[in-house]
Amino acid sequence: MTEASAPLLDVRGLRKYFPIAKGLMRRVTGHVRAVDDVSFTVNEGETLGLVGESGCGKTTVSRCILRAIDPTGGQVLYRTRDDRVVDLVPMSRQDLAPLRKEIQMIFQDPFGSLNPRMTLLDNVGEPLLVNGVRRRSERMDRVAELLRLVGLRPEFMHRFPHAFSGGQRQRIGIARALATNPRLVVADEPVSALDVSVQAQVLNLLLELQGRLGLTFLFVAHDLSVVRHISDRVAVMYVGQLVELSPTAAIFASPLHPYTAALLRAVPVPDPRVRNDDGILRGEVPSPAAVPSGCYFHPRCRFAQDRCRQEAPALREIAPGRFARCHFAGQF
């Protein structure tokens, strides 16, 4: 980790509101605040885990960073290979094109994310073609190298995706993401569709590739034990906001935000001797279209006080490197 230099990625006040249109005239009657003031940094060579339950906005954040969708506001500052810091949000498609090589994505669904009509050579080689590698023999060499890198045999390149298992397909997806020598890889739930035995293989591969290629990961997932295993730091989202951001060891040992604590307690422990129904979070996640007053978590928080109902807390640094969005963070 290079703490001293500027971070590779610096997300500041990121917002993405989706309009809710109603009636014949499709008049906009409100907004779904899918991402609402999210700020974090990712240092070069580190893995930042982004966790939260479905609908919390974690996938929207990753898509905004990739500019797969356009943010409503905020900045996504990215430090390029030649050490310039650029804001990806206002960039045009043309300006963005050279940077796309540096930021790549690994998808969740190993079945939906590969084109079933294309061989591995074409699937994995597509980003190369797009980025100007016209000669087929050159692409074949590179694809062979990539397949070897992810633990697949280069001879497989003329086969189609259906011939491969879920774990192997996820390796193919990883090979494709690495085709353009990216620096930042956004992985959205890369192991959640895989069986336990295969999940471990893919996690090991990601760690190994990170070490070998100096990759930086933004690892989006809902499985806390997986995120704990792979991340240097962990960011927790709730209803479109970051509620906590801390180094992995610290967040799992002593969470600052009551939501993080509840999330940790909700993980079913693979030990029948530890059965505990205490502190189960009641109620449900509010809709990002109709958020509660004050702190978004207060209706479910067992420590909630009057202040929490009225005043929205800001994300603030509670201890060095530890951030939480709670009026009473660290006091429980």
Interface residue with another protein among 11, 42, 262, 295 (CB under 8 A) is 262
Three-state secondary structure string covering 241-277 = EEEEEEEHHHHHHCCCCHHHHHHHHHCCCCCCCCCCC
Which residues of the chain form beta strands (DSSP E)? 9-22, 27-42, 47-51, 73-79, 85-87, 103-106, 184-188, 216-221, 233-238, 241-247, 316-319, 322-324
Q: Is 200 among the residues that bind another protein (CB under 8 A)? A: yes
Q: How far is the CB of 25 from another protein (least distance, A)?
A: 25
Instruction: Based on the shown chain and the rule CB under 8 A, indicate whether residue 248 belongs to the binding site for another protein.
Output: yes
- Contact between residue 120 and residue 156 where contact means Cβ atoms under 8 Å apart: yes
CB of 176 to another protein, least distance (A): 19
Q: Are 304 and 259 within 8 A, CB to CB? A: no
What is the residue-wise DSSP string for 99-127? HHTTEEEE-S-TTTSS-TTS-HHHHHHHH
Residue whose CB is less far from another protein, 5 or 204? 204
Single residue of 2, 80, 165, 293 touching another protein by CB under 8 A: 165
- Nearest approach in angstroms of CB 224 to another protein is 7
Q: Measured from the CB atom, is 56 or 179 closer to another protein?
A: 56
Indicate the residue among 18 and 252 with the shorter CB distance to another protein.
252
Contacts (Cβ under 8 Å, ≥6 apart) of 312: 294, 295, 296
Tell whether residue 304 is a contact of another protein (CB under 8 A): no
160 near another protein, judged by CB under 8 A: no
Q: Does 199 bind another protein (CB under 8 A)?
A: yes
Sheet with 322-324, side-by-side order of all strands? 103-106, 184-188, 216-221, 47-51, 233-238, 241-247, 322-324, 316-319
**228 lines the binding site for another protein (CB under 8 A):** yes
* 224 scored as a contact of another protein (CB under 8 A): yes
**Residue 229 touches another protein, criterion: CB under 8 A:** yes
Selected binder of another protein within 25, 284, 306, 320 (CB under 8 A): 284
CB of 3 to another protein, least distance (A): 17
For the bound state, the minimum distance from the C-beta of residue 198 to another protein, rounded and expressed in Å, comes to: 7
- Tokens 């694809």: give the residue: 143
Strands 47-51 and 85-87: unpaired
* Contact residues: another protein, CB under 8 A: 47, 53-54, 165-168, 195-201, 203-204, 207-208, 222, 224-226, 228-232, 248-249, 252, 262-275, 277, 280-282, 284-285
